A and B are shown apart, each in its own frame.
Chain A
Amino acid sequence: MNNCIIEMKEIKKYFYGVKALDGVDFKVRTGEVHALIGENGAGKSTLVKILTGVYQPTAGTIILNDKPVQFPSPQISQKAGISAIHQEATMFPDLSVMENIFMGHHIRNKSNGLLSWREMKDKTQILLDKLELDIRPDTKVNNLSVAQRHMVEIAKALSLDAKVVIMDEPTSALTLKEVEYLYKIIRKLKSEGKAIIFISHKFEEVFEIADYFTVLRDGKYIGEGTIADITVDKIVQMVIGRSLEQMYPKLEAEQGNIILKVENLTKIGVFKNISFDLHKGEILGFFGLVGAGRSEVMQTIFGIDTKTSGEVFIDGEKVYIANPSDAMNLGLAYLPEDRQIQGAILAMNIRENITLPIIDRTSRHIFLDRNKEFEITDEYGKYIEIKASGWEQLVEDLSGGNQQKVVLAKWIATKPRILIMDEPTKGIDVATKATVHNFISELAKKGIAIILISSELPEILGMSNNVIVMHEGVITAKFTREEANSKKIIRAAIGSISK
């Protein structure tokens, strides 16, 4: 290849025997915006982490400027001119903008070897000016908005004189205006000959900004090409690998009475005036970008957070939920987004996990009854088809999908009437995903009211009876299944229509 800056060949990465990447090829040229596309769990982040030296590949080669290289640590990858803006927070909140930019490669005064803050400040100012950012170099990162933090990360990449800038879902927390601005910056970087790897599962963005694309699915290389020569449908086909109908069980919606009514729920600075109704047997989809406030709304309803104002009614009666245990007594269950931190207790076994919320029901007075725990675990474990050698197996030894099933079993065992699911299929394999979708339909059929938070549009469109879209803490649109389509939903989610 003539102007390939990076070429990754036959990259494989196994975790505990699970193939996260299975022979992926990936080429990036200078001066191009290269979209890396795939669903959650397709292997995009793993590939990026290999490129940035966070992970070591199990097999395969990386070629940088026609020379084979290895990146045993993030720093070496950085020195080679590769810089990533990670999804998770990699900032030092108590330190200033300039310090965040220069941490790890502070500029030293040549004469005495001490740090030269003035030079760093000047350089930071130049970078901030270039990015047209109106913040001072000595502002603490704590005091910046999410978008501004992203920009600081970009400034950091520039300060390292990166040839390749990787942006992992950079727009997920940005407003439309900020996204436009980010595009401007990306075009500017491109014109300077930098290669940009742009990771996204939003096709609109890809078609707007990218020149070239590579598609991954289930850890495998699916295809690549120029954006100009491809249609959205074709890419969707490549990403999903099948049509939507195949994936989502059709619903025979038989909705009952209103079971949950939320009125003007507000938490200052997080979300405001959230109102909606939920019926028996309904699957109510909540769509929005990361940071839109969906999880926060649900956690407030479930009693994990406190509200500023607003009311919640169950079966027409006003209820006061001060903590999760109140919520559970009212028949609510909340399957949290982060299964490893909020959902499962990894160092405990499956039985202990599944019976944790209902431990009072499986015990005699306060004394544990392991036989009864086993019975219940067996019942729900088999029902949800958890694949494990036994119910005494530790949850940390299960695959991601089975961990998620444990959390699901745990909440279904509470026999909820209202089940809130926060990104229930995030980061799990396709087969498990399908099982989870089947269960959601089945539960709804039994009359359980379900709230489904998801950032995957096909999932929302495929599963929900009704869709609510949130943007920056407010509900921007409500659609019925018939009204909803991806364009409308996306537009509402990025805030381009005001109610």
Chain B
Amino acid sequence: MNKENGVLDIKKIRKISLLNIIWQWETILLFIFIMVAIINSNLSPYFLDYTNLMNTTFNFIEKAIIALPMIFVIICGDIDISVASIIALSSVFMGMASQAGVNTFGLVAMGLFAGSAAGFLNGFIITKFGIPAIAVTLGSMSLFRGIAYVILGDKAFTKYPPSFAFFGQGYIGNTMIPFELILFFILAIIFGIILHKTTIGRRVFAIGNNSTAARFSGIPVNRIRLIIFTVTGLCSGLASILLTSRIGSTRPNIAYGWELEIITTVVLGGVAITGGKGNIFGVVISIFIIGFLKFGMGLINVPGKVMTIIIGLLLILAIMLPELLKRLKPKNSFENVKK
């Protein structure tokens, strides 16, 4: 009877259910993470070893560093499947520079520049011509890696200066904590603050939820998207530096297929593929779930190709899960109030 009451009820229920969803998703992720850890440590005594755990992060931190800007890309409602090719492109440019005798500092600058330039090109074509990001990055994915093939053919760059090895192989002091890992955490905090605590983040969410209304509200939608694609390229360049430094060589098929795992990580972390929703914390957990899952499978000698089956299944299940949960719930009290 009392309208105010009705509204209040809705509000209460929504708050609870919203909290529930966030909680549920993150709890589910944490739960999965713990499960993975327990199963792994039961399967192999080597899993819970401090040095092993630290060293295994080498295998996924480079991907994780691209996952961070990818959160922004996907929240904006776009997608970038060219990131792995950007790694190849940056790596090839660093290799060429290294052959020419450029020092470590120059190589890093080259890697970052090549990555940003590639990302900028993506963003420029997408925003300038109004073409869907999927179509553009599909083309540039092939173009960037193709350029790597043109330059390298079936050869490889293997000559890098010794000091270059630190980025992908170094540890902080005597701690056995990889430099990469620390770098990732610093970046995760920066990206997290930008996404959740600044006006930029608010604008990104606004664009992802309704880009027309965002534009009508004075938000420079295309400029922000362009910057995000450029930063994604920059981070891919950074990942390329770490990866090239770690394996000490460049082949044109470097990081092949990584885009799949990066997108899977982001989506599993609770970022809506349709845009407008997501948070850093979920993605960070999901990075470690996938990383440790693969580490565990490696310990029991599961071949890499089989792991991709599991990653693929995870991707599909991660997206189906919210829908399934909705269907399994008998009747949401909130919906009843709404009707």
Chain A contacts to B: CB under 8 angstroms: 16-17, 304, 323-325, 327-328, 334, 336, 341-348, 352, 356-357, 359-360, 363, 366-368, 387-390, 392-394, 397, 410
Asked whether A341 and B202 contact (CB < 8 A) given A17-B6, A347-B276, A389-B11, the answer is: no
B218 close to A389 (CB less than 8 A) = no
A368 close to B218 (CB less than 8 A) = no
A357 close to B6 (CB less than 8 A) = no
Closest Cβ of chain B to A407, distance in Å, is: 9
Asked whether A368 and B197 contact (CB < 8 A) given A16-B338, A342-B213, A345-B210, the answer is: yes
Q: Which A residues are in CB contact (< 8 Å) with B159? A: none
A341 close to B220 (CB less than 8 A) = no
Q: CA–CA, A336 to B213, complex, Å?
A: 9
Q: CA–CA, A359 to B220, complex, Å?
A: 13
Closest to A373 in B: B202
Q: Which B residues are in CB contact (< 8 Å) with A388? A: 7
Instruction: List the count of A-B residue pairs having beta carbons below 8 Å apart.
Output: 88
B218 close to A324 (CB less than 8 A) = yes
Q: CA–CA, A392 to B8, complex, Å?
A: 12
Chain A to chain B contacts (Cβ below 8 Å), 10 pairs: A17-B6, A17-B338, A323-B218, A325-B219, A341-B213, A345-B209, A357-B218, A368-B197, A389-B8, A397-B10
Considering only residues 1-55 of chain B, those with a C-beta below 8 Å from chain A are 4, 6-8, 10-11, 14-15
B200 close to A366 (CB less than 8 A) = yes
Cβ of B235 within 8 Å of any chain A Cβ, yes or no, is no
Closest to A325 in B: B218
Interface pairs A-B: 8 shortest CB-CB: A389-B11, A325-B218, A324-B218, A366-B198, A345-B210, A389-B7, A357-B217, A359-B199
Chain B contacts to A: CB under 8 angstroms: 4, 6-8, 10-11, 14-15, 197-203, 205-206, 209-210, 212-220, 276-277, 338-339
A344 close to B213 (CB less than 8 A) = yes
Closest Cβ of chain A to B333, distance in Å, is: 15
Q: Which A residues are in CB contact (< 8 Å) with B277? A: 347
Contact check: which of A16, A345, A368, A397 meets B14 at CB < 8 Å? A397
Interface centre among B8, B201, B212 (most CB of A within 10 A): B212
Q: Which B residues are in CB contact (< 8 Å) with A334? A: 216
Asked whether A366 and B199 contact (CB < 8 A) given A356-B219, A388-B7, A389-B7, the answer is: yes
Q: CA–CA, A324 to B214, complex, Å?
A: 10
A352 close to B202 (CB less than 8 A) = yes
Contact check: which of B11, B198, B201, B214 meets A390 at CB < 8 Å? B11
A345 close to B220 (CB less than 8 A) = no
Contact check: which of A16, A368, A393, A394 meets B202 at CB < 8 Å? A368
Q: CA–CA, A345 to B203, complex, Å?
A: 11
B198 close to A368 (CB less than 8 A) = yes
Q: Which B residues are in CB contact (< 8 Å) with A324? A: 215-218
Q: CA–CA, A309 to B325, complex, Å?
A: 55
Q: Which B residues are in CB contact (< 8 Å) with A368? A: 197-199, 201-202
Question: Could you list 16 further interchain pairs (A-B, Cβ under 8 angstroms) beyond the known A16-B339, A356-B202, A356-B219?
Answer: A16-B338, A324-B215, A334-B216, A336-B216, A341-B210, A345-B206, A345-B213, A345-B214, A352-B205, A366-B198, A366-B199, A368-B197, A388-B7, A389-B8, A392-B15, A393-B10
Closest to A14 in B: B339
Closest to B276 in A: A347
Q: Which A residues are in CB contact (< 8 Å) with B199? A: 359-360, 363, 366-368
A346 close to B209 (CB less than 8 A) = yes
Contact check: which of B198, B205, B216 meets A348 at CB < 8 Å? B205
A389 close to B213 (CB less than 8 A) = no
Q: Which A residues are in CB contact (< 8 Å) with B216? A: 304, 324, 334, 336, 342-343
Closest Cβ of chain A to B182, distance in Å, is: 24
Q: CA–CA, A359 to B213, complex, Å?
A: 15
Q: Which B residues are in CB contact (< 8 Å) with A16? A: 338-339
Closest Cβ of chain B to A453, distance in Å, is: 15
Closest Cβ of chain A to B137, distance in Å, is: 25
Q: CA–CA, A341 to B216, complex, Å?
A: 10
Q: CA–CA, A72 to B252, complex, Å?
A: 58
Q: Which B residues are in CB contact (< 8 Å) with A328? A: 218
Q: Which A residues are in CB contact (< 8 Å) with B220? A: 323, 325
Closest to B338 in A: A16
Closest Cβ of chain A to B75, distance in Å, is: 12
Q: Which A residues are in CB contact (< 8 Å) with B205? A: 348, 352
Contact check: which of A17, A304, A360, A393 meets B215 at CB < 8 Å? A304
Q: CA–CA, A323 to B197, complex, Å?
A: 26
Q: Which B residues are in CB contact (< 8 Å) with A356? A: 202, 206, 214, 217, 219
Q: CA–CA, A366 to B202, complex, Å?
A: 10
Q: CA–CA, A390 to B7, complex, Å?
A: 9
Q: Which A residues are in CB contact (< 8 Å) with B213? A: 341-345
Q: Which B residues are in CB contact (< 8 Å) with A347? A: 209-210, 276-277
B217 close to A389 (CB less than 8 A) = no
Closest to B203 in A: A359
Q: Which B residues are in CB contact (< 8 Å) with A345? A: 206, 209-210, 213-214
Q: Which B residues are in CB contact (< 8 Å) with A336? A: 216
Q: CA–CA, A170 to B206, complex, Å?
A: 36
B209 close to A348 (CB less than 8 A) = yes
Q: Which B residues are in CB contact (< 8 Å) with A323? A: 218, 220
Q: Which A residues are in CB contact (< 8 Å) with B214? A: 345, 356
Interface centre among B6, B7, B219, B277 (most CB of A within 10 A): B7
Closest Cβ of chain A to B225, distance in Å, is: 14
Closest Cβ of chain B to A386, distance in Å, is: 11
Closest to B15 in A: A392
Asked whether A393 and B209 contact (CB < 8 A) given A16-B338, A368-B198, the answer is: no
Closest to A360 in B: B199
Interface centre among A344, A356, A397 (most CB of B within 10 A): A356
Closest to A407 in B: B213
Closest to B6 in A: A17
Q: Which B residues are in CB contact (< 8 Å) with A341? A: 210, 212-213
Q: Which B residues are in CB contact (< 8 Å) with A367? A: 197-199
Closest Cβ of chain A to B159, distance in Å, is: 43
B197 close to A346 (CB less than 8 A) = no
Closest to B193 in A: A367
Q: Which A residues are in CB contact (< 8 Å) with B198? A: 363, 366-368
Closest to A326 in B: B218
Q: CA–CA, A189 to B293, complex, Å?
A: 70
Q: CA–CA, A394 to B276, complex, Å?
A: 14
Q: CA–CA, A348 to B214, complex, Å?
A: 12
Q: Which A residues are in CB contact (< 8 Å) with B8? A: 389
Q: CA–CA, A352 to B8, complex, Å?
A: 20
Q: CA–CA, A28 to B23, complex, Å?
A: 55
Closest Cβ of chain B to A323, distance in Å, is: 7
Q: CA–CA, A328 to B197, complex, Å?
A: 24
Q: CA–CA, A389 to B11, complex, Å?
A: 6
A342 close to B212 (CB less than 8 A) = yes
Q: Which A residues are in CB contact (< 8 Å) with B218? A: 323-325, 327-328, 357
Q: CA–CA, A343 to B214, complex, Å?
A: 8
Interface centre among A342, A352, A410 (most CB of B within 10 A): A342
Q: CA–CA, A258 to B8, complex, Å?
A: 46
Q: Which B residues are in CB contact (< 8 Å) with A410? A: 217
